[in-house]
Structure 1
Amino acid sequence: MSGQTTPYYITTPIYYVNDKPHIGHAYTTLACDVLARFKRLDGFDVKFLTGTDEHGQKVEKSAAAKGIDPQTFTDQVSQNFRDLATAMNFSNDDFIRTTEDRHKAACQALWKRLVEKDMIYLDAYKGWYAVRDEAFYAEDELVDGPDGQKMAPTGAPVEWVEEPSYFFRLSAWGDKLMQFYQDNPDFIAPESRRNEVMSFVRGGLQDLSISRTTFKWGVPVPGDDAHIMYVWLDALTNYITAVGWPEEGGEFDKFWPADLHMVGKDILRFHAVFWPAFLMAAGITPPKRVFAHGWWTNEGKKISKSVGNVIDPLELIETYGLDQVRYFLMREVPFGNDGDFSHRAMVGRMNGELANDLGNLSQRVLSMTAKNCKGEVPEVGAFTPEDRELLDAAYGLLGKVRPLMDRQAFHEALETIWVVVRAANAYVDRQAPWVLRKSDPARMATVLYVLMEAVRNVAILMQPVVPESAAKMLDQLSIPDDARTFAALGEGGALTAGTPIPKPQGVFPRYVEPETNEETKG
């Protein structure tokens, strides 16, 4: 079992506010939400953080293009991310903005600490810079773009920059980082990403430019207002700002080091190389784990604004339903791999797994109970080996699902639950309670009880993924609110015969294609 009230701190990356949220943002935060909800139900004291990254040249330029000041611009765009959190039913405990005073104070405290440790020095920066990536690139990293222009490996345009800059002594941290990765094999996941990062560090680290003078929208460098902090030192600090750093004690002592930073694979280097180096240099423990997930394509095509195939999560919710979208995103792809969003796959999961497998199971069982057992949890007789087999499978789910969630294998966790859902459907077909109704009503009652128990355990475990639908299923079993945590799983929380249950209603409607008026094909 988990320790009661053990702290658990999980973070999303903070999202850059130069655009509106898309499926990638929804996906990362959803994975964190599912894990945060799972841990809460498992008795942990969870802090789940998300937020927005609001400084940098891109924001300054975007605001200027709209004719408004950067703070007004970020106020507007940051709200889009709060609205997404509400629409997706995310359960974050905090929402941090890098324009908040608490964050500026933490950034400046970290800077001063690094100066005290002789980890920062002033020099001049000359090199290639991509505004879009807010990143510097070495000559040998550049690729040829159209018309022979130099471009970043990400495809972003680069410009030659020469300016005074403060540098962080990253080159001093290569061996220490390698040692840290070896001592903490679970620090970077999945394994393929870990190998990538280690290979990058093994190749040698250059000192890192951590300030800019060519624009003003950022956290001022303490003692030198001509400079503002480079966006990555500023942005990454949010994870300790949110737990009260630089104040020791309180939330910082309770929740730091973070249990998990969830990120997209494109920002892994910042989180797995720069961030632990900054922290170790400041005498702060690095986080326990960084998980880099993959990207989505749309019907097999790379998603891009220029192609116009960006997936809006709000439109998905409107088309398919909130819990259906949440389920699909966690179920469709091995977490960590790239995945493809297609209408056909979405409808397949909705109708095949949610409506047919789970929804139909619950509806059949509860309808038969309502009709044949006076609308109450039925009396139970002796269990047969088949009954016991299904009950044991349902009661044993947490022990199988918990380690999968701990390594962010969401798709495997759901498949493990579905093994029991499919077993329950096979059991109901074999036992045929509709036949037993006439031949052996007492046996029918036991069969329905076993099925209700299977549904109860599945519904409790499905709450992190489909919170609203799982709540409806538990309502229909008359499960009180205080009996919905993982402590109620298994025999200890079993249904009590004679408990009245409400009239059953469908929870997962089938998706029906909207009728279209097709033009006559000529």
Structure 2
Amino acid sequence: LCSTSRKTLQAKGWIYTGTYRGWYSTQDELFVPESDVTEVKNASGTVQKVNVESGHPVEWMQEKNYVFRLSHFQKDLLHWLQSSEGVVKPAKFKNLLVHWISAGLQDLSVSRESTRVHWGIRVPGDSSQTIYVWLDALVNYLTVSGYPDKNFTWPPDCHVIGKDILKFHGIYWPAFLMAAGLEPPRSILCHSHWTVNDEKMSKSKGNIVCPYKKVDKYTADGIRYFLLKEGVPHSDGNFNNTKVQHLLNAELADTLGNLLSRCTAPLVNKHQIFPSYDQESFESFTDGQEVLNRLHDLADKVKDKYVEGNIYQGIDEVMAVLRRTNALVQNSKPWELAKCDSEEKRLHAVLHVALEVLRVSAIVLQPVIPVLAARILDKLR
């Protein structure tokens, strides 16, 4: 596939032979534009040039390469980014791409001398050159689509990436696709990273979080819930054991678990049933209509947030309804209603609504806490 894609770009005139000159960062594996190179003093006091973005040293290099006409696609890339509000989410990353592209694009070297890069796929017809990672790795996304067979499926609805590879997937990749006559992804969801106790994770600091150990401590559902609730796309999340414990206690135990316990306690729900609903009886609760209104819109609101990639906002919608329902139960005092036979309809009405809130909440939370959601739904059968 890599060779096929490279041949396609060559045949269409998008690749040419050139002498590539520039500042090269071995650690970043890329040529760095002059505007992104600065001078710094290292620990020994020696002045050296480094990549502004990564801080890694660069060296001047000149070699024969095959070059992709990236500069030709500047207008096309800007048009793609501006064709839809949600083509790259969150907006801050879309704006960053627009800034990079508007500053001007240079043609991109897509090969390296084989004497320097021994691994990789040789350029078809020129074994002295190795196809570089831009083309090699990125075109692999086409593999699962069935490309280049006739009935391949493309483009993807959403491409999920990390912010550290935004330039490669938001500029190089769509440009390669356009050059090959293919559509870019319909949308790109770019997520941020995780810190630990407000510090970047690194082996040297010994602060890398082992997810398996955290699963043993908090359960898989607990870790999933924390990561999806705190891992917002637009900024880095912070992993902290105290924070994990507090969130799980406050939301899964005290909010979700508390409502379930209240509505299924034998003293309140003697026959362990999902009672029938009586509208007239429920209207006697002053704050009941607000809960019904929130419940009516809950599934659609959560779905919209999930589709946007804002999972945390979908969870917030659920928790808001659960907290309001807990307040309804607290104010209606079903444990008092259960003591009087004449209040049975009112008891059943409030239990029905509370249990329905739990049912819908469990359904929409299945992608987040699948095991716990299944247990709740089993209990409500």
Same fold flag (TM > 0.5):
yes
Equivalent pair of 1:391/1:453 in contact (CA under 8 Å):
no
Aligned pairs for 1:288-367 within 5 A:
288-367=186-265
Tell me how far 1:333 sits from its aligned partner: 4.8
Q: Are the aligned partners of 1:323 and 1:469 in contact in 2 as well (CA < 8 Å)? A: yes
Match of 1:175 among 75, 87, 94: 75
- Inter-partner Cα distance in structure 2 for 1:162 and 1:124: 7
Residue 122 of structure 2 is aligned to residue 240 of structure 1: no
Three-state SS of the structure 2 residue aligned to 1:241 is: helix
1:158-198, Cα deviation, whole Å (9 max, x unpaired): 34443321110111111222222222332222222212111
Counterpart in the other structure of 2:131: 229
Match of 1:404 in 2: 305
Q: Is the 8 A contact 2:81 2:87 kept in 1?
A: yes
Q: Deviations over 1:320-360 (max 9, x none)?
A: 22111111112125422122221221111111111110012
Shift of 1:423: 1.0
Q: Distance in 1 between matches of 2:124 and 2:138?
A: 18
Q: Is the 8 A contact 2:25 2:31 kept in 1?
A: yes
Is the CA contact 2:192–2:232 (under 8 Å) kept in the aligned structure 1? Answer: no
Partner residue in 2 for 1:149: 48
Residues 395, 457 of structure 1: 8 Å contact kept = no
User: How many equivalent pairs are there?
Assistant: 368
Residue 450 of structure 1: which of 334, 353, 357 is its match? Answer: 353
**Distance verdict in 2 for CA 1:342–1:284, change over 3 Å:** same
Amino acid of the structure 2 residue aligned with 1:218: G
- Residue type of the alignment partner of 2:21: K
Shift of 1:388: 4.6
Contact residue 335 and residue 410 of structure 1 kept, 8 A: no
Shift of 1:226: 2.5
> 1:186·1:289 contact (CA, 8 Å) conserved in 2?
yes
Q: What is the DSSP-based 3-state SS (H/G/I as helix, E as strand, rest coil) of the residue aligned with 1:463?
A: coil
Partner in structure 2 of residue 378 of structure 1: 275
Structure 2: stretches of 5+ with no match in the other structure = none
Per the alignment, residue 127 of structure 1 pairs with 22
Comparing 376-385 with 464-473, greater Cα deviation is found at 376-385
Structure ID, larger Rg: 2
User: Counterpart of 2:160 in 1: which secondary structure?
Assistant: strand
For residues 36 and 235 of structure 2, the distance between their equivalents in structure 1, rounded to whole angstroms, comes to 25
Report the residue type matching 2:369 in the other structure.
V
For residues 155 and 304 of structure 1, the distance between their equivalents in structure 2, rounded to whole angstroms, comes to 16
Per mean C-alpha deviation after superposition, the further-off stretch among 349-358 and 181-190 is: 181-190
Q: Are the counterparts in 1 of residues 190 and 233 from structure 2 also a CA contact under 8 Å?
A: no
Q: Deviations over 1:352-372 (max 9, x none)?
A: 111110012112212248x74
Question: Is the Cα contact below 8 Å between 1:331 and 1:411 reproduced in 2?
Answer: yes
SS in 1 for 2:209: coil
For residues 379 and 354 of structure 1, the distance between their equivalents in structure 2, rounded to whole angstroms, comes to: 27
Instruction: Check the 8 A contact 2:157/2:187 in 1, yes or no.
Output: yes
1 CA distance for matches of 2:145 and 2:245?
41
Asked if the contact 2:263/2:269 (under 8 Å) is kept, the reply is no
2:18–2:67 contact (8 Å) kept in structure 1: yes
What is the alpha-carbon distance in structure 1 between the residues aligned to residue 305 and residue 191 of structure 2? 15
Do structure 1's residue 220 and structure 2's residue 117 form an aligned pair?
Answer: no
Aligned match of 1:441 in 325, 331, 344?
344
- Contact 2:294–2:321 at 8 Å: present in 1 too? yes
Instruction: Tell me, yes or no, if the aligned pair for 2:299 and 2:360 is still in contact at 8 Å.
Output: no
Structure 1 CA distance for aligned equivalents of residues 80 and 273 of structure 2: 58
Where does the alignment leave 5 or more consecutive residues of structure 1 unmatched?
Answer: 1-105, 479-522
Deviations 1:265-321 (A, max 9, x none): 111111111111111111001111112222222111222222222222223222222
Distance 1:449 1:138 in 2: 64
* Equivalent residue runs for 1:480-491 within 5 Å: none
Structure 1 residue 120: Cα displacement: 0.6
Superimposed CA distance per residue, residues 58-110 of structure 1 (whole angstroms, 9 cap, x where no aligned partner) = xxxxxxxxxxxxxxxxxxxxxxxxxxxxxxxxxxxxxxxxxxxxxxxx22221
* Sequence identity percentage: 39
Structure 1 distance, partners of 2:91, 2:48, is 35
Distance 1:131 1:311 in 2: 28
Q: 1:397: Cα distance to partner? A: 0.6
Structure 2 CA distance for partners of 1:380 and 1:178, relative to 1, 3 Å: closer
- What amino acid is the match of 2:319? W
1:185-264 equivalence runs, <5 A? 185-212=85-112, 213=114, 214-249=116-151, 252-253=152-153, 256-264=154-162
Taking the aligned partners of 1:108 and 1:329, their CA distance within structure 2 comes to 39
Q: Find the residue that maps to 2:265 and give its secondary structure.
A: helix
Question: Per-residue CA shift, 1:234-292, capped at 9, x if unaligned?
Answer: 2111221111111131xx33xx2111111111111111111111111110011111122
Q: Distance in 2 between matches of 1:405 and 1:177?
A: 27
Give the alignment's TM-score, normalised by structure 1: 0.67
SS at match of 1:226: strand
Cα distance in structure 2, aligned partners of 1:465 and 1:421: 16
Greater mean deviation of Cα atoms: 436-445 or 154-163 = 154-163
